[in-house]
Amino acid sequence: MAIDLTLVSLVEDQNGLTERLLFGAPRMIRNTCDHRQMAAFSPGDVFGYERRRTTFRAAADWQLFIIRAGSSGDRISRVSGIKPGGILFLSALHSHHARRAFEAINAISERTDPTTISAAFWQRLSTQLQAGLPVEHLLEREVW
């Protein structure tokens, strides 16, 4: 029986591109021949993933995702840098939303392990971030 693995590309500042894990415990990490690393997650594993492309002036493109690794038969979303993809709990696709999501993830990480947070909470947080609503009261109400 084959195990469905979700492979996540990790690279530090190669031609302005940084891809890294914000949280999560990969089953393994391997070096590739093109100076990258690949992290492997088993189905059901939850992880935070950041993609940032910078130019000589500023961060031109910043994306954050909270993803659950899927398995065969799951309806997964395609995310650049993640093969085959995953089940999205949170996506912040522009610098403004990514900054707010990053601050919320840091606040959560100070209180508890983010991998233990429910999918419903991440989805609610994502909705509030996308709508431009404040998230402080949501973070304060969550039972840690």
Query: Which whole number is the average pLDDT over 136-144?
Result: 73
Mean pLDDT of 102-119: 93
Question: 62-99 burial string, b = 16+ CB within 10 Å, else e?
Answer: bbbbbbbbbeeeeebeebebbebbbbbbbbbeeeebbe
How much is the pTM?
0.88
Q: Flag whether 105 is in a domain.
A: yes
1 occurs within a structural domain: no
Residues 58-88 pLDDT 10s: 556 899 999 999 888 888 999 999 999 899 9
Could you tell me if 62 and 99 are in contact, meaning their C-beta atoms sit under 8 angstroms apart?
Answer: yes
| Cα–Cα distance measured from residue 109 to residue 47, given in angstroms and rounded to the nearest whole number | 12
In a domain, 59, yes or no: yes
Confidence of residue 125 (pLDDT cuts 50, 70, 90): very high
- What is the pLDDT at residue 15? 77
Phi-psi region of 131 (alpha: psi -120 to 50; beta: other; left: phi over 0): alpha
Q: Does 90 or 72 have the greater pLDDT score?
A: 90
Q: How far apart are CA 53 and CA 11, in angstroms?
A: 11
Per the structure, the count of domains in the chain is 1
Integer angstrom CA distances of residue 13 from 35, 52, 80, 97, 127: 11, 9, 16, 21, 30
Question: Quick one: pLDDT at residue 91?
Answer: 94
Residue type, 68: R
Structure tokens given for 55? 């130019």
- Paired with 61 in beta bridges are 53
Most confident of 45-49, 55-59, 139-143: 45-49
What digits encode the pLDDT tens for the residues 1-18? Answer: 457 899 999 998 767 889
Q: Domain of 72?
A: 6-141
pLDDT at residue 140 tops 90: no
